[in-house]
Amino acid sequence: MAGLPPLTQVPGTGTRVGHGRLAHGRLHLLLTLDSLVVVLISVNRKAGGTLAFVADDQFLRWVEVNNMVLGLCTVLLYHLVAVHLVNDSPHRRRGAPLALGVLFTAGAYVYALSLGDHEITNYLHGRFCSESLPTICRVVAFNDDVFSDVVFLAGFTLLNTTLMVTQLLFPTDRAPRPWDNVLITVNALFIGAGITANLAFEKAGFDPFVVGATAVFALVLLRVSPRQPVLLAPLFAHLAEWATTNLNKVERARDDYETDSAR
């Protein structure tokens, strides 16, 4: 366990006093950067220019490489948020930073594993495999559409759980001000919309259940420790994402039904 980094706990390093209209300025900066990364992931997946090959040997496209880099940015920002929560809180708990560091490391590993599996098989699946799949393409398709999605959701859950439990164990003593709530809501909606754009059209179909469970978990923790900003943010984001994803799936099911009825 010696190689697993605890979440840093340095007394006196947190931003203890809120100035002006915001009580949590540094946290908003980190959440805004997280929103920016989510938007860039969506743009990367939807933009046609990222389908160009990275090198002459055509080993990958820019869309896959960019997703791997943006995945690293996501993990780093999650870590910075967790460290900020620990340092900013007046509460000190022995052993908690190490345990949270272990949980975060597990989440980061699983999240990275999902990207490594998905981005490679997504490229191979889209480029070389047609609708009539030979055995190797069925393996590639399963990794692309199902296995990597399950692993991604596991990493997603571990990382979000780390942040929420960190906020629970290291609560802030400054209640959010009105502008804090505005920025938390705006960032949450951006994050929810970005994740929806990336996950709503996945074939595995596990996503709404995981997102809904994460939102319920955030709600339960909010009942235990009210008005904590990093519990409010995932609650708003995942509720918006869960609603949008399910509406999209209902719309697609209705379109499929109408198409079948017209035949």
> What whole-number distance in Å separates Cα of residue 53 and Cα of residue 65?
10
Judge whether 141 and 125 are in contact, CB under 8 Å.
yes
Q: Provide the whole-model pTM.
A: 0.81
Q: What is the mean pLDDT of residues 70-79?
A: 94
Cβ partners under 8 Å of residue 17, min gap 6: none
More confident residue, 262 or 241: 241
pLDDT digits (tens, 9 = 90+) for 184-236: 889 888 887 777 777 655 665 677 788 888 888 989 999 999 889 989 887 77
DSSP sequence for 154-219: HHHHHHHHHHHHHHHHS--SSPPPHHHHHHHHHHHHHHHHHHHHHHTT-SS--HHHHHHHHHHHHH
Structure tokens at 57: 């040997």
Q: What is the mean pLDDT of residues 112-118?
A: 93
How sure is the predictor about 78, in pLDDT bands with cuts at 50, 70 and 90? very high
pLDDT digits (tens, 9 = 90+) for 129-177: 876 668 888 889 899 988 999 999 999 999 999 999 999 999 998 888 8
Residue 95 backbone class (left: φ over 0; alpha: ψ -120 to 50; beta: rest): left
What does residue 100 show for φ and ψ, rounded to 5 degrees? -70, -35
Judge whether 145 and 122 are in contact, CB under 8 Å.
no
pLDDT digits (tens, 9 = 90+) for 6-56: 665 544 444 444 455 777 889 999 999 999 998 999 899 888 899 999 999
